[in-house]
Amino acid sequence: MTLIDRTTDLAQGLRDRFVAVRGETEALAAPLSPEDQQIQSMPDVSPTKWHRAHTTWFYETFLLGPSLPDYGEHRPGYGYLFNSYYEAVGPRHTRADRGLISRPSAAEVGDYRRHVDEAMHDLLDLVETGERSELAPLVDLGLQHEQQHQELLLMDIKHVLSVNPLRPVYRDEQHEAAGDPGPVGWIEQAGGIVTIGHDGDGFAFDNEGPRHDVLLRPFALADRLVAAGEWLAFQADGGYERPELWLSDGWATVNAEGWDAPLYWFRDGGDWWIHTLTGVRPVDPAEPVVHVSGYEADAFAAWADARLPTEAEWEHAARATPIEGNLLPADRLHPTAASGEGVRQLIGDVWEWTASPYVAYPGFRPAAGAVGEYNGKFMSNQMVLRGGCAVTPGGHVRRTYRNFFPPHSRWAFGGLRLAKDAA
Amino acid sequence: MTLIDRTTDLAQGLRDRFVAVRGETEALAAPLSPEDQQIQSMPDVSPTKWHRAHTTWFYETFLLGPSLPDYGEHRPGYGYLFNSYYEAVGPRHTRADRGLISRPSAAEVGDYRRHVDEAMHDLLDLVETGERSELAPLVDLGLQHEQQHQELLLMDIKHVLSVNPLRPVYRDEQHEAAGDPGPVGWIEQAGGIVTIGHDGDGFAFDNEGPRHDVLLRPFALADRLVAAGEWLAFQADGGYERPELWLSDGWATVNAEGWDAPLYWFRDGGDWWIHTLTGVRPVDPAEPVVHVSGYEADAFAAWADARLPTEAEWEHAARATPIEGNLLPADRLHPTAASGEGVRQLIGDVWEWTASPYVAYPGFRPAAGAVGEYNGKFMSNQMVLRGGCAVTPGGHVRRTYRNFFPPHSRWAFGGLRLAKDAA
Amino acid sequence: MTLIDRTTDLAQGLRDRFVAVRGETEALAAPLSPEDQQIQSMPDVSPTKWHRAHTTWFYETFLLGPSLPDYGEHRPGYGYLFNSYYEAVGPRHTRADRGLISRPSAAEVGDYRRHVDEAMHDLLDLVETGERSELAPLVDLGLQHEQQHQELLLMDIKHVLSVNPLRPVYRDEQHEAAGDPGPVGWIEQAGGIVTIGHDGDGFAFDNEGPRHDVLLRPFALADRLVAAGEWLAFQADGGYERPELWLSDGWATVNAEGWDAPLYWFRDGGDWWIHTLTGVRPVDPAEPVVHVSGYEADAFAAWADARLPTEAEWEHAARATPIEGNLLPADRLHPTAASGEGVRQLIGDVWEWTASPYVAYPGFRPAAGAVGEYNGKFMSNQMVLRGGCAVTPGGHVRRTYRNFFPPHSRWAFGGLRLAKDAA
Amino acid sequence: MTLIDRTTDLAQGLRDRFVAVRGETEALAAPLSPEDQQIQSMPDVSPTKWHRAHTTWFYETFLLGPSLPDYGEHRPGYGYLFNSYYEAVGPRHTRADRGLISRPSAAEVGDYRRHVDEAMHDLLDLVETGERSELAPLVDLGLQHEQQHQELLLMDIKHVLSVNPLRPVYRDEQHEAAGDPGPVGWIEQAGGIVTIGHDGDGFAFDNEGPRHDVLLRPFALADRLVAAGEWLAFQADGGYERPELWLSDGWATVNAEGWDAPLYWFRDGGDWWIHTLTGVRPVDPAEPVVHVSGYEADAFAAWADARLPTEAEWEHAARATPIEGNLLPADRLHPTAASGEGVRQLIGDVWEWTASPYVAYPGFRPAAGAVGEYNGKFMSNQMVLRGGCAVTPGGHVRRTYRNFFPPHSRWAFGGLRLAKDAA
């Protein structure tokens, strides 16, 4: 999967990408039984089946219905069930109740996907012939949207499987322990007025722009992610028991939830074990810590006498990083230890919590209509994370990509990299 | 299915009954997809798959493990997942989370059932040959237990399907409207010292005894159930808006839950419709009202200037009633209108709310050990219901049978019959 | 304070009783500051100030307004604030928010009481002269109502003071340890058809009738209350850790609430201490255990291989007991150890949990109108307690008196006496 | 009350300021009865009595205990009751339960204040003589802290009185309607690199620094606050019913809470009325809207095709504004209509919601020890408000002052001023 080049005709290759992305979703769902695909293990999680249907609904609602003459809605009621949060599209099923809908079945959702795929091929004919080439960006958005849900599908099924005391796996895989990543090095950055945000070349979500100047002070960025071994040291040093390290909301959450380790870690005997998509095994100290909340990331940074980077610092430091790393379709499905030289792990492995609340860039205006609800309305009470993770599709991440979660969230693949003010 | 005669040798016919009951559970589950069988639509509901596994666990835990030499547990962890509430057996999975366990799948639960069935045939050999004939009552209890869960399976799947806005059906069936049951007649009963409770002949649950004397005052019992048409009149007369008709807890529940009709009734246009296992259709005024709480039953009785019968009154009035009626395996799966003469509908159709809190009969002592948790520990905050309903297996109801639910419960097939003090 | 004799003219002495009861309420509130009188420490508790106002509102609403020509309502809005639960009287302030009303102040409530008292003297003139003698029973009801609230006032302020870590006292008093009450003796009762319920002689609440026959089996009743020392033995024997002793709802409550002792007991070092209205001190093993829930009472009885008496058994056994004991106006404000011979402590000390759910007696009909809401509408999910307690006004208890609380309640002065089936 | 000049000796005049601030707190509490001072109407609110005690505890804990030889703690337990949120100081009473502590009484809190004041005079002797002049900044912090609580005291008692259906007033005052403020004018600002944050001259809280450069784009700021009349237009235009205007969290809150107007507005007949500290009266369209959440402020700005200013924009625009306005000790206790020319209402009237999440300025480090908990640990899930309000003490506001509340909060005196990108 390669990055989209918008300077060439977006319509070129659109059908191939459509087929590839649609196929990838089904490939990710393939190891999962109808029962696996049914479960919503907490309100934030959606069933696999729902992801498969909702990504399909997106094309039906924003492309086929409005733009394909004679398109016949697949089934009445699906629009109600599979709208996620688009107020402008109409009423919809309660989010927290997505796991209570046994019908349509996983197989019937497959039928839905095939029905929409067929109609999309008719629409892609119109795009390719130039009759409706203006629809190409919306198709592209649909594919980007589906790639986001591929990551969500894996995040969510990881949680679903984790609540089962039988500890089932998504895919059985042997973990190969990596070598010690060595001590953290610090990469100095001069700061000054720098430019961040998407430059308009190729696809980006609306929240990545407008491109704009920001003023940075000199800073240093760690050359790798915080590793699990360092997290074990934080725990051993009373990290979860010392209120002075924590934001007030974070400390309240630690106590309310009884946190004493990252999500998916559990103690067995004297050791810490970890639940992953490929099975349960001891925590590997060399690999990056993952599934920590923004509160935990912040407390760790305080303990380490450092801080989290801002998103502008991160983006500036990553300005020349190649867009490659531990991403899908790698089989690993988990972050892996740093190796090599220089600033490592910026792309892939874990989403890196930043110190930046998720707010609009200067001059940002959401698009008109339902599509404008995609990003802008979530700009409160969330923090920005950067860089993609081990379950992000390879072509889906950008240096300007702004992921966001509330600071208490742990089921996303969130980890951290430290920063410091320049000496 | 016929009533068990304990005066003959219980072991006789035990294998046939075992095969029949086990098969009936699978037959009831057969119309349901893996997804249908997975869902827990509220904490009181259990997934179909869980019912199938839990009834199997009962034999494994109370019979095969303790009594069959060399019995091999089917899968580790199943004991934890499928223990319902037996504290003496050990820790168990959280009840409200039963819907979050995708594995074992419905098919793997089928394997579990087959594994246990095979072992049970070995055990039944020992029972039949007399080598372990003392186990026959425990096998019998397992079958009675499974029959209870057959009813629960249908109660629960009815709720599961009801929360789906697509309104799926368990089985598609045409409703045939019945004739008007005519006005209620009153059957006078003289009262005095009468005897109630199980006489020890044939199977009964421990809570049905000891048989004992009670003192009844003269009373009259309605000769049929309250019909849906009468409920419509109650609604039209402000039944859900007049606090003077309600117990205080009931009135609080009406307001907290926004009740204005029985569960599964909904208004479409000017009419009341009903969700049943066989589809959605207009409310039929001739059929008994069902899925009302004990609070609603009590308020209706107050509105009708009557009262609910006590369980002793009910049992005494039913003393000679044949054990037949609208019960499983009838295809109807819903109560039906009264017809004929005399006291009708005592057995089957709906569980009849009584005025009696569920408490121990004089001299009651629960059995020792885990089996003693079956009934006794639930003797608080619940009311007794009598008579069985349209989804109760035919051989499973008795005149002495004491069903019980908290007064706010509506997903059981609860309805009512009026009583009065003698003039 | 003596029992009312209804066979004499109720109007006789009514004014004296009115003055005495009204004065007693104010005397009970006198040690309490405006702040003390303001607090609602949990939804079940009402502020002292509210009790003083609500008892006053009762006369205003049911007597002065309807029956005294030219009576001027004291202040607009008081009817809304001080109606407790009378739906028929109109809308009212949310119960759980009673502690949020700073105005009227405690002093202004005193003004309200004086205003109503003056008007009541005018009305009592009419009663005494015979012009309105038919109002005497309603005045009497108002006084009985106020006496109930005297007990509630003390129950409630005990809880209010208990949540203050400074452990303030209602009245500072030295506890004098009593002698060992000795082992429990068992009083045999023959049973048979016996009559219970109020006989119409003197005042009774509607729920104490109709008087009716019940059939009792032979039983034995303990000759004293369960003592705190016995409760310590229950705790030491794992009473709060053994699910087999508990009703299922009780066991869930024990775990949800973390109960390991009666309410108001706390551990300090190795010893159990108790918060009382007269101060904090070590638990005295000789005195009756109090402030246990119905669940705890039931579990203790199971542990002791006994059971709780039914309310009919209790009333029958108490049929000849004099109405005297550790009641108000004693300064003790706490149950005290049994002494003397025979069946002791039936009246006063602690309300005794029975095995009887609170339901209507045969033939019970609540009175018409708002006064009919007094008792009947609470007949669900509660258990009957008998005998009065150390903070019940002396003239307010009867052998037929049916107090009631949900089985999880602990802030009432609930304790227990054991019963057994006859050998 | 005048701004503190730190360039002169802080010790000069410290005693006078101490006396003045301490007296002002008592003067603000003086109209309130013991009952008024007791109530906590929601978890965010603290009782008046608690504010009076907590501000006193601050001196006792951070000054008298550590620094005054032979200081005798006033009462054991007060440290536990009156610590707000200082983890480093030790355990403390649950915040949500502050309203449940009747003792110490309001009068006893007065004793506590007098005891501490006397000791503080001894300590101020040492400061004035130079023996302990290093304590002057901590005394100053204590006074600033107390002034913050003066505002909180008024915010909180406003809420306390508002929940009383009798609609009591803090102080009875006649509202004089102001003239129409006229249309909003827009003040253009050139932007560029500007400096914000406290310059170290005079007192500031730690979160106001370090002073640092920020890069601003050209923008325009409204020359007055949004007025209530404009809010009425927003409501009339469906402001509370159009999801497209709202942040997702805001829309969820609107629906969960049933918001259709600012806090303290209520409809009576066809008109909107408002609860103020000086009584209930019709909404005055000329006065600024107040008691809106950050969500409402943001939605209003979207409706007006504008946006909220960032805190840097606000501070830059206010760089030359005199520190005067509608502040305490004015009797008004409510924002008032704009009058005059130029940018008005920057200081006083209402706290202005900004678009800026409350995060650390670059280089911010909280102070060591308990005092470091003052501000830094609250830097998550909150938004910055600027400018002070009608109940902020006059000497307590600064152009650099960063107030902060979660975006759903409405009981603070929050209003808004619009901003726009330059054309």
Q: Which of D244, D245, D295 to mutate to test the interface with A (most CBs of A within 10 A)?
A: D244
pLDDT in tens, A157-193: 999 999 999 999 999 988 888 789 999 999 999 999 9
- Find the CB nearest A103 among B102, B105, B168: B168
Per the CB < 8 A criterion, the answer to whether B142 and B59 are in contact is yes
- Find the CB nearest B100 among A41, A77, A97: A41
**Mean pLDDT for chain C overall:** 94
Q: Is the peptide bond before A329 cis (omega within 30 degrees of 0)?
A: yes
Low-confidence ranges of chain C (pLDDT < 50): 1-8
- Find the CB nearest D247 among A88, A215, A380: A380
Instruction: Give me the total of CB pairs closer than 8 Å, taking one residue from chain B and one from chain C.
Output: 79
As a whole number, mean pLDDT of residues D169-179 equals: 89
- Find the CB nearest B377 among C248, C377, C378: C248
Strand pairing report for B414-415 and B351-357? parallel
Per the CB < 8 A criterion, the answer to whether C234 and C300 are in contact is yes
A103 contacts B36? CB cut-off 8 A: yes
What is the three-class DSSP state of B220? strand
Residue B419: which H helix or E strand, with range?
strand B419-421
Phi first, then psi, for residue D48 (nearest 5°) are -50, -45
At position A420, the amino acid (one-letter code) is K
Chain centroid offset of residue C166 CA = 27
CB neighbours of residue A163 within 10 Å: 17
What is the three-class DSSP state of C287? coil
Q: What's the pLDDT at C373?
A: 84
Q: What's the pLDDT at B9?
A: 65
Q: Which of A37, A38, A93 to mutate to test the interface with B (most CBs of B within 10 A)?
A: A38
Q: Could you tell me which chain D residue has the CA closest to the CA of A381?
A: D381
Q: How far is CA D390 from CA D176, D294, D331, D396, D402, in A?
A: 16, 18, 9, 12, 16
pLDDT in tens, C295-330: 999 999 999 999 999 999 999 999 999 999 999 998
Q: Which residues of B touch A82 (CB under 8 A)?
A: none
B103 contacts A35? CB cut-off 8 A: yes
Chains touching D, CB cut-off 8 Å, 3+ pairs: A, C
Q: Which residues pair with A279 in a beta bridge?
A: A276
SS (H, E, C) A235-301: HHCCCCCCHHHCCHHHHHHHHHHCCCCCCCEEEECCEEEEEECCEEEECCCCCECCCCCHHHHHHHH
Residue B214: which H helix or E strand, with range?
strand B212-216
Q: Which residues of A touch D380 (CB under 8 A)?
A: 247-250, 294-295, 298, 407
Burial class (CB in 10 A: 0-12, 13-18, 19+), B209: middle
Q: Which of A32, A33, A35, A80 to mutate to test the interface with B (most CBs of B within 10 A)?
A: A35
Q: What's the pLDDT at C184?
A: 97
Q: Could you tell me which chain C residue has the CA closest to the CA of D45?
A: C100
Per the CB < 8 A criterion, the answer to whether A332 and A390 are in contact is yes
Separation of alpha carbons C224 and C342, rounded Å: 8
Strand pairing report for B403-405 and C186-189? unpaired
Q: What's the token pair of residue C145? A: 């109502």
Query: CB within 8 A of A289, min separation 6: which ones?
Result: A225, A226, A227, A228, A230, A231, A262, A350, A415, A416
**Residues D48, D49, D52, CA angle at the centre, nearest 5°?**
90
Per the CB < 8 A criterion, the answer to whether C10 and C137 are in contact is yes
Of C178-182, D266-270, D292-296, give the lowest mean pLDDT range: C178-182
Of B152-161, D56-65, D365-374, give the lowest mean pLDDT range: D365-374
If interface means Cβ-Cβ distance under 8 Å, which residues of chain C face chain B? 85, 87-88, 193, 212-215, 217, 243-244, 246-251, 294-295, 298, 355-357, 359-360, 362-363, 372-373, 377-381, 407, 421
At position D105, the amino acid (one-letter code) is S
Q: Could you tell me which chain A residue has the CA closest to the CA of D354?
A: A359
Burial class (CB in 10 A: 0-12, 13-18, 19+), A404: buried
Q: How confident is the model at residue B31 (pLDDT cuts 50, 70, 90)?
A: very high
- Find the CB nearest D97 among C38, C49, C163: C163
Q: Which residues pair with B210 in a beta bridge?
A: none
Per the CB < 8 A criterion, the answer to whether C412 and C351 are in contact is yes
D215 contacts A214? CB cut-off 8 A: yes
C102 contacts D39? CB cut-off 8 A: yes
* pTM listed for this prediction: 0.95
Rounded to the nearest angstrom, the minimum Cα separation between B33 and chain A is 8
If interface means Cβ-Cβ distance under 8 Å, which residues of chain D face chain C? 33-39, 41, 49, 77, 80-81, 93, 97, 99-106, 160-161, 163-166, 168
- Provide the CB-side half-sphere exposure for B219 (13 A, CA): 26
Chains B and A make contact, 3+ CB pairs within 8 Å = yes
Instruction: Give me the total of CB pairs closer than 8 Å, taking one residue from chain A and one from chain D.
Output: 79
C164 contacts D102? CB cut-off 8 A: yes
Phi first, then psi, for residue D296 (nearest 5°) are -65, -40
State the complex-level ipTM.
0.95
Q: How confident is the model at residue B8 (pLDDT cuts 50, 70, 90)?
A: very low
Q: Which of B35, B38, B48, B280 to mutate to test the interface with A (most CBs of A within 10 A)?
A: B35
Query: CB within 8 A of C350, min separation 6: which ones?
Result: C225, C288, C289, C290, C335, C387, C389, C390, C413, C414, C415, C416
Query: CB within 8 A of B21, min separation 6: which ones?
Result: B143, B146, B147, B150
A41 contacts B103? CB cut-off 8 A: no
D39 contacts C103? CB cut-off 8 A: no
Q: How far is CA D184 from CA A243, A375, D233, D284, D316, in A?
A: 47, 31, 15, 17, 20
Q: Is the pLDDT of residue D403 over 80?
A: yes
Per the CB < 8 A criterion, the answer to whether D249 and D297 are in contact is no
CB neighbours of residue D214 within 10 Å: 21
pLDDT in tens, A3-44: 344 434 688 899 999 999 999 999 999 999 999 999 999 999
- Find the CB nearest D249 among A87, A294, A381: A381
Q: Which residues of B touch C381 (CB under 8 A)?
A: 249, 381, 407
Percent of residues, chain D, with pLDDT higher than 70 = 98
Phi first, then psi, for residue C288 (nearest 5°) are -65, 145
Chains touching A, CB cut-off 8 Å, 3+ pairs: B, D
CB neighbours of residue C261 within 10 Å: 20
Separation of alpha carbons D95 and D85, rounded Å: 8
pLDDT in tens, A287-313: 999 999 999 999 999 999 999 999 999
- Find the CB nearest A248 among D360, D363, D377: D377
Separation of alpha carbons C401 and C410, rounded Å: 20
Q: What's the pLDDT at C9?
A: 65
Q: What dihedral angle (degrees, nearest 10) is formed by the CA atoms of C385, C388, C392, C398?
A: 110
B101 contacts A164? CB cut-off 8 A: yes
Q: What's the pLDDT at A5?
A: 41
The more confident residue out of D3 and A249 is A249
Q: Which has the closest alpha carbon to A221: A196, A193, A192, A188? A: A188
D381 contacts A85? CB cut-off 8 A: no
C251 contacts B377? CB cut-off 8 A: yes
pLDDT in tens, C162-217: 999 999 999 998 888 878 999 999 999 999 999 999 998 889 999 999 999 999 99
As a whole number, mean pLDDT of residues B10-35 equals: 96
- Find the CB nearest D33 among C93, C105, C160: C105
As a whole number, mean pLDDT of residues A373-393 equals: 95
Rounded to the nearest angstrom, the minimum Cα separation between C278 and chain D is 16
Percent of residues, chain C, with pLDDT higher than 90 = 87
Q: Which residues of C touch D38 (CB under 8 A)?
A: 34-35, 38-39, 102
Q: What's the token pair of residue C18? A: 């009115």
B80 contacts A105? CB cut-off 8 A: no
- Find the CB nearest D380 among A249, A377, A421: A249
Q: Which residues of C touch D168 (CB under 8 A)?
A: 102-103
At position C374, the amino acid (one-letter code) is Y
Burial class (CB in 10 A: 0-12, 13-18, 19+), A91: exposed
CB neighbours of residue C8 within 10 Å: 10
Q: Is the pLDDT of residue B256 over 90?
A: yes
SS (H, E, C) D53-112: HHHHHHHHHHHHHHHCCCCCCCCCCHHHHHCCCCHHHCCCCCHHHHHHCCCCCHHHHHHH
**Mean pLDDT for chain D overall:** 94
C34 contacts D33? CB cut-off 8 A: yes
Q: What's the pLDDT at B175?
A: 87
Separation of alpha carbons C173 and C1, rounded Å: 24
Chains touching C, CB cut-off 8 Å, 3+ pairs: B, D
Separation of alpha carbons C355 and C364, rounded Å: 20
At position C247, the amino acid (one-letter code) is L
Q: Could you tell me which chain C residue has the CA closest to the CA of B355?
A: C359
Q: For the packed helices D106-128 and D48-59, what is the interaxial angle rounded to 10 degrees?
A: 30
Q: How far is CA D21 from CA D33, D141, D398, in A?
A: 21, 12, 17
Q: What's the token pair of residue D62? A: 């951070």
Q: What's the pLDDT at A9?
A: 65
Q: What's the pLDDT at B6?
A: 45
Separation of alpha carbons C13 and C21, rounded Å: 12
- Provide the CB-side half-sphere exposure for C242 (13 A, CA): 13
Separation of alpha carbons D216 and D294, rounded Å: 22
Q: What's the token pair of residue C181? A: 């009450």
Q: Could you tell me which chain D residue has the CA closest to the CA of A369?
A: D244
A163 contacts B33? CB cut-off 8 A: no
Q: Which residues of A touch D367 (CB under 8 A)?
A: none
**Residues B245, B247, B252, CA angle at the centre, nearest 5°?**
105
C247 contacts B378? CB cut-off 8 A: yes
Percent of residues, chain B, with pLDDT higher than 90 = 87
Separation of alpha carbons C147 and C352, rounded Å: 19
Rounded to the nearest angstrom, the minimum Cα separation between A102 and chain B is 5
